[in-house]
Amino acid sequence: MRRSAVIAISLCIVMALFGAAVMAQDAPTVAVITPYLAQPGTQFIVEGFQAAADEKGWNVNVIDTAGDVAAVISRIEDMVNQGVDAIVINVDPAQVAAGLQVAADAGIPVFGMDAGSDPLLVTNVTSNGYAMAAETATYVADRINCTGRVVMFVFDPYPPVQKRGIIADAIFANCPDVEVIDRITPDVNDGGIADSRAQMEAVLAANPDAGSISAVWAAWDQPALGALQAIEAAGREDEGIVIVGIDANPQALDAVAAGGNFEATVAQDFSGIGAATADAMERMFSGETISQSVIYVPTVLVTQANVADMLDN
């Protein structure tokens, strides 16, 4: 029994030291709660927020619930109870609505970082899907001089990707000499590459003449990678078919760096999203009303010119 008392007391001391280290001062206290800290994109976002908040002298408490979405609600409740000045979430707000309601009832503002819009959020800071699609569709239109036959890979059932497709539709429709020969919705159950490759193989078979396909515009990177594989497998990589994707996933960056048909993709500025969230929060702390329900952070078109910088990051 004496031993267990010793253990209990020493644990209390350890915890008290932690307590002393983290408690103190009057600066705003902000909790960042996410289940996805292990994912690289989220890590950059949170680090970006933390760096900006450190500069402003805020106390930031980053809480990772390691994939557990219900625990995000629990931690929101704890933070509301603790009376923090603001909460930041990086998770689908619909799934943590129970927690958002608790925060709203207590008058504690919640910001979304690449989270999704929700009336219970002050604002959601993210990338503009319309703008990303405009970047790559414009790139294609310019590369082929607004003339030629284009294959599109889209996915309309998923709203964030659907909005990319309609922008590309508009840009290609504005080039009278561009003909969209196919608008393909690949089966994404296998991750999107394999089925896109099969679909592209069918398009290549149906258009056997060199120069009969000018470009492939894909609403995200996986179909673009599948199309690249199909074109290379068919031995048609020297026909000058331009391929573009969106998201700048590592495989796509490698493909762009390799200098083949895959010429461009779009990278989200993750640390910029974190920093912009901190800026919006600072405006709110200083009494301003944030009227934008979504704040967009500019994205970066990645081509041969700047892909090396992206790979370094």
Partner 1 sequence: MTTEAAAEQARSRPQWGRALRTSGTLIGFLAIIIFFTINIPGTFLSLPNWLNISQQVSMLGVVAFTMTIVMVMGDFDLSVGSMASLAGIIAALLFRDSQPVLAGVIVALAVGLLGGLFNGILVSYIGIMPFVATLGTLTMFNGLAFLLSGGETIFGRDIPADFSSFARGGIPIGSVGERTLLFPNLTIVALIVLALVWLLLEQTTLGRRLYAIGGNAEAARLGGVRVRLLRLIAFMLTGVGAALGGLMYASRVASANPTQGAGLMLDAIAAVFLGMTMSEEGEPHVLGTLVGVLILGVLDNGLTQMRVDSYVREILIGAIIVAAVTSSSLAKRGR
Q: Residues in the site for partner 1, rule: CB under 8 A? A: 1, 3-5, 7-8, 11-12, 14-16, 18-19, 22-23, 29, 31, 59, 61-71, 73-75, 77-79, 81-83, 92, 94-98, 101, 105-106, 189
Rounded Cα–Cα distance for residues 205 and 43 (Å)? 43
Rank residues 71 and 194 by Cβ distance to partner 1 and give the closer one. Answer: 71
Q: Is 87 helix (H, G, I), strand (E, B) or coil?
A: strand
Rank residues 3 and 287 by Cβ distance to partner 1 and give the closer one. Answer: 3
Q: State the minimum distance, in angstroms, from the CB of residue 35 to partner 1.
A: 10
Rounded Cα–Cα distance for residues 73 and 18 (Å)? 24
Q: State the minimum distance, in angstroms, from the CB of residue 97 to partner 1.
A: 6
Rank residues 61 and 138 by Cβ distance to partner 1 and give the closer one. Answer: 61
Instruction: Report how far apart, in Å, the C-alpha atoms of 62 and of each of 43, 45, 71, 108 are.
Output: 11, 12, 14, 17
Q: State the minimum distance, in angstroms, from the CB of residue 99 to partner 1.
A: 9
* Structure tokens, 113: 């970082």
Rounded Cα–Cα distance for residues 301 and 307 (Å)? 9
Q: State the minimum distance, in angstroms, from the CB of residue 312 to partner 1.
A: 28
Q: State the minimum distance, in angstroms, from the CB of residue 80 to partner 1.
A: 9
Rank residues 91 and 280 by Cβ distance to partner 1 and give the closer one. Answer: 91
Rank residues 11 and 305 by Cβ distance to partner 1 and give the closer one. Answer: 11
Q: Counting every residue, how long is the chain?
A: 313
- Do 270 and 300 touch, CB atoms closer than 8 A? no
**Among residues 299, 212, 211, 194, which one has the least CA distance to residue 247?**
299
